[in-house]
Structures are given as C-alpha cells and as structure tokens.
Structure 1
C-alpha cells in the first residue's frame, strides 16, 4: 500500500512521518528530495538563478531562505519556481517508490504538495494532518522564526486545509498532545492490519 501523507504547513505532518518511520515504515520525503535537488541538480540550480537572479545562490546550490522571500506571497513567482523544480522532484519520488514498493507492505509518501502536484492520484490512501489554525500559526512562527504576517503568507501559499480534508481518506487532528495524535495514527494502522498492536 502507498500512503500519501500531507497537511498544512506546521500542522504536524513531519511528526507523524517520524512516528511512522519509528514503526519501520519507509518514508519517501518530498521535502528532503526538494532540498537535494536545490543543492545538487545543476540544471535546476542554473534555471533558478536565471529566473530569480544570482542573489539566490547559496554556499551549496540555492539559498532556500532567500528564494522563499521571493516566492512566498507571490502566486505567479511560486508557480514559476514549481515549473522548474517539480519535474526533477517527481522523477526522484517515482524512482524511490518503485524501489521500496517491492519489499514493504506500506510505503509512505510524505508530500506537502500531494494534491497540488498530482501525487494524490498515485497513492492508495490519503492521510491529511490538521490542527487548529491558531496553533498552526504559532508553531510556524516559532519554528521558522517568522513574523505573523510572513507566517500567514506561507500558510495562504498552500491549498486551503479544508479543501485537502475534503479529499482525505483519513484525517488526523494534531491539535492536542503528541500521544493523542500518535494514538489516531496507530488506530488506523491496526484497523488496516498494518501493525499488530500487541507489538507496540
């Protein structure tokens, strides 16, 4: 089974991804793959510099913080970036999934842009992680050291969370404690006979 894991920024998707990894399910992490592409894919790096200016160059590849300041808050600029980077990310994701699917009963595709980039059509089940909006905002401000205005820009740059929930097969509410959230995930795994609760 291929599980598509997504949610809004700072809703707790990464925490659930880590929990699933601890349960020994392999994770295909779209964000990590994106970072690899921005650091080492020379054709992508060259195209980004040409499109957004040489100022976005970092010590290694592209400086994501500088690039983020340009694209977040501008739908057109974010679209330009995705047109450059997403094909390279997709190729790596597809290759990783093909390799892992041969040896595991559950593979997790952890992808913030699961719907936006069409990955939802590739997976068997979609899990969407949600949290209270005020909690999401404060988590993002704290995690990325952002002002409230900049944090809101990043949240609104993504597909609305309510829209993702409409297309979800399973919704995990991460507004409470870590233990409460993990309990919801574990219940889904047990219900689908993917883990034996006696071993956890």
Structure 2
C-alpha cells in the first residue's frame, strides 16, 4: 500500500503517457484517470447506464460502449451537456482512482490526471505534482498527427484546459518533453530516485 502520491499532469499532446510508461518501467504503480474513464465507458462499463439515461441511446455504439466522437461533439457544442457528463463520470473516477492508489504496492504511486490543475480534489490528494511540459506548437502538431484533428479542433480542446503557465505554476517538478524519449526517461529516472527518498521519509515520519 502506497502512502505517497505523485500527481502527473500536462496538456493534451505533452507526453503524459510516455512519462507514465517510463515510471511504470521502473516498477512504479500508475493510476491513470483517462484509462479509468475508458473502462467506465466501455461496453458494460459502470457509467454507461447513467450516460444512456441522461443523453439517450444515440450516445452508445452498437456494442454498448460510449460513442466518444459523438459525445465529444455534444460536450464541446453545449457546456451544459459537458457539465452533465462530468457529473456522472467524475465521482466514479475519483472513487476508483483513490481506491487504486491505496492498493498500489510500490513505494509511491503515480496518479496521472490530465485536468489535475483544474481539479482541487485531485491536487489535495498529491504529495508532489510533476508536470510534463512542451511548447504549445509542439502539442498542436503532435495531436494533429496522432488524432487526425485540425488545428482549430486541437486549439478548442486546449482552450478547455489550464494554460501552460497555470500548470507550471503549481508544479513541484517539471519534465521537459522535446520528443527525445531517452531524455524524457533520464528525467524520469532522476525524479524516481527523489520520490523514493521522499516516500521513505514520509513513511518513517508516519511510523
């Protein structure tokens, strides 16, 4: 059971997943709220009955999973719809992520939350916050290439997130991701050693 939580965040296309994978490769438990959201909205997922009841059967695919493209369009077009979506998903995600952090067996746990800066409830659960950072131009080009979206669509997504400056303002640590995976892994290794020390210190203080 891990008593030391490191919140990992960054804007879309910043490289959060690559950083989380690098921590996992070092044996660190990773709790990813995006992965939990996908789990909840897969066919048979715990959130699907409430989502279908709220938005209608058209938000589900033939297999019973959430139609993400349709839901994304609806949420961006209607802020009220986005609020209703979040009211269903966010409490479930918070509960599951807290439970999985408690069950993690590594010395510390990475809690990966894309909207960590925007959400006080997640920030309060973290002993340390690490931000994966890159220039906004690089974010945009990565997401356009990865998701097949236009620049305007990517900018619209970024507009719903904290700014680069807001993320850096709350960071205890920063991983600069210029696209060089070896450099990212080197930074993660340095942070890992520090987090092991901090986790050990906290554990001793709590004894």
Same-fold call, TM cutoff 0.5: yes
Structure 1 counterpart of 2:205: none
Contact 1:73 1:154 in 2 (8 A): no
Query: What are structure 2's unaligned runs of at least 5 residues?
Result: 198-207
Select the residue among 27, 48, 51 that pairs with 1:48.
51
**In 2, are the aligned partners of 1:8 and 1:158 still within 8 Å (CA)?**
yes
Alpha-carbon distance change, 159 to 74 in structure 1, aligned in 2, over 3 angstroms: farther
SS in 2 for 1:60: coil
Q: Aligned equivalents of 1:181 and 1:56: distance in 2?
A: 38
1:86 maps to 90
1:153 positional shift: 1.2
Q: What's 1:198 paired with?
A: none
Map of 1:180 onto structure 2: 183
Q: TM-score, normalised by structure 1?
A: 0.88
Question: What is the CA distance between 1:9 and its match in structure 2?
Answer: 0.7
* 1:116 equivalenced with 2:102 (yes/no): no
Please identify, of 67-76 and 4-13, the stretch whose mean Cα deviation from structure 2 is larger: 67-76
The Cα shift of 1:156 comes to 1.2
Give the TM-score, by structure 2 length: 0.85
The residue correspondences of 1:15-164 to structure 2 (distance < 5 A) are 15-39=18-42, 40-42=44-46, 44-58=47-61, 59-72=63-76, 74-100=78-104, 103-117=105-119, 118-164=121-167
For this pair of structures, how many residues does the alignment match?
191
Question: What SS does the corresponding residue of 1:163 show, helix, strand or coil?
Answer: helix
Change (3 A) 1:53 1:167: same
Evaluate the alpha carbon distance shift between residue 73 and residue 24 of structure 1 in structure 2; reply closer, same or farther with a 3 A threshold.
farther
In structure 2, how many angstroms separate the alpha carbons of the residues matched to 1:140 and 1:76?
26
> Contact between 2:23 and 2:192, CA under 8 Å: does it hold in 1?
no
Paired residue secondary structure (1:72): helix
